[in-house]
Amino acid sequence: MKHLMMIVSCIFPLAACSGGDEKKAVMETSSEKPADPADKVVKTDEEWKKLLTPEQYRILRNAGTEAPNGAVYKEFKKQGAGTYHCAGCGALLFSSKEKFDSGCGWPSFYDPAKAENVKTKKDLSLGMMRIEVTCAKCDGHLGHVFEGEGFNTPTDKRYCINGVGLKFVPAKEEKPVKESAP
């Protein structure tokens, strides 16, 4: 039954997809870590439209869903150590330490890296009860969280996140300190 629930929770979000242009749907990557906003980020729709790509706007501002197993997900699976920030406001959301492969076709994490930047609320859309995940700083829609699916993770939660709403910052490689000769 748990596996059936996982399959259903992976398939139903497809009904929310509006067929965005996959070539434009790319997870941003930056070598510079964005500043974590101290306060709530409030912008007009016009300001958001100037800041975000059309696909990011559709997902973050209109609670859309990207297609599963797309280019963004394939890119996510290849990413190594680093952090994931909100593509809208730069808030730290997740890290590669909490990342896992759930097999559902969307980026998955078992816990946020910075819990105060992630909030959840009931979502009764599509005729079912789910828990929506949003950025606590800008209220951008990130995805949904599912519990009790039997994943071998510390929390048995799956934060199923739209990758286009994330900005990946690779961990900086630390260079070993050279010891001086005596």
Active site residues: 160
CA 38, CA 143: separation in Å to the nearest integer?
A: 23
* Residue 67 CA: distances (Å) to CA of 12, 14, 147, 176: 11, 7, 22, 42
CA 141, CA 119: separation in Å to the nearest integer?
A: 10
DSSP 87-112: TTT--EEEEGGGB---SSSS-EESS-
Length of the chain as a residue count? 182
Residue 68 near residue 163, CB atoms below 8 Å: no
- DSSP class of residue 52 equals S
